[in-house]
Amino acid sequence: MATSQNILITGGTGLIGSRLVEMLGSKGHKIAVLSRQAGPMRHAKVYRWDPGKGEIDSRAIENTDVIIHLAGAGIGEKRWTKARRREILDSRVKPVYLIAEKMKIAGVIPSVFVSASGVSLYDQQDFERRNTEKSPAGNSFLAEVVKEWEHAADIFSDQGVRTVKMRTGLVLDAKGGAFPKIAAPVKMGLGAALGSGKQWMPWIHLEDICRLYVEAAENPAFRGPYNAVAPECVTNRVFMKELCRILRRPFWPVNVPAAMLKIIFGEMAAILLEGGNCVNERIRNEIFFHYRYPALAGALESLHD
């Protein structure tokens, strides 16, 4: 086992954070979680912060070796009004500068900064390109968010801190995140492809993304951006069809019209209707990471109650 480290996690109460805290805690690491409101957590000490107001309990950052930055307002929770767009951006970017500033004042120099990031960095309307970590960024709202989010993380790499950016695909879990919402209509017998069905859905199982974060914290070989997605990237049509098969529900050959989703979700419908193909090139070629769920069928089976 790697030696015990002091790990600070922002957004440690969320889908990825809660499972990650369990994994890191059971490996003997000492964990501090920064939360705006959470009560006590098993395996972690919880400290208050209000990144919007620039407030942070300074005890949280004492002796920090590793920072894992997961905090961020939900992308698919509320309509993308102007205020919500600002919140989505600020809640990811401002905390990085806040922690960097407070650590500088306190004279704390971490050895690793691991930031969540997203595959929505890449062009989501080009369904032909296979995006590796070297592919160019797109111009969508989410691509702009990811650019600023990753740029903020560079404040640590510029100081010589090993910095990792987890460009994460859709995280699959039975209870949290987007999957239960995707599965709900399928369970009611209404499974069908969304829009053209040709958009890609890079995904990763919750267990694997959390195991990647553990690796990134412990393994000095991790550095820079990684497409944190399963090796098998599928289109929306294939995803929905496979989900229907596993849930033993019908897959209807008539796609859900894009116009209808745009009326219901506004611009946020882009999350459902767009998506680039994404390849885990650096994980495959540079890191000896063994996925527990490399293929969609196995991942979906594991979520099936």
Report whether 35 contacts 12 (CB < 8 A). Answer: yes
Instruction: Work out whether 138 is an interface residue with ligand NAP (CB under 6 A).
Output: no
Instruction: Work out whether 118 is an interface residue with ligand NAP (CB under 6 A).
Output: yes
Cβ-based neighbour number of residue 60 at 10 Å: 21
What string marks each residue from 90 to 109 as x (binds ligand NAP by CB under 6 A) or -?
Answer: -xx-----------------
Report whether 198 contacts 240 (CB < 8 A). Answer: no
Return the structure tokens found at 122.
Answer: 């890449």
Report whether 106 contacts 58 (CB < 8 A). Answer: yes
**Nearer Cβ to ligand NAP (175/257):** 175
**Nearer Cβ to ligand NAP (137/251):** 137
Instruction: Work out whether 16 is an interface residue with ligand NAP (CB under 6 A).
Output: yes
**Nearer Cβ to ligand NAP (147/251):** 147
Choices 64-72, 101-109, 152-160, 184-192; region in contact with ligand NAP by CB under 6 A: 64-72
Return the structure tokens found at 47.
Answer: 């400290």
Nearest Cα residue to 207 out of 13, 20, 68: 20
Quick one: which of 24, 51, 60, 164 contacts ligand NAP (CB under 6 A)?
A: 51
Region at 189 (left for phi over 0; alpha for psi -120 to 50; beta for the rest)? left
DSSP bridge pairs for 51: none
Instruction: Work out whether 23 is an interface residue with ligand NAP (CB under 6 A).
Output: no
Report whether 276 contacts 124 (CB < 8 A). Answer: yes
**Nearer Cβ to ligand NAP (83/254):** 83
Residue 225 Cβ vs ligand NAP, minimum distance, rounded to whole Å: 13
The residues of the shown chain that bind ligand NAP, judged by CB under 6 A, are 11, 13-17, 35-38, 51, 70-75, 87, 91-92, 116, 118, 168, 170-171, 177-178
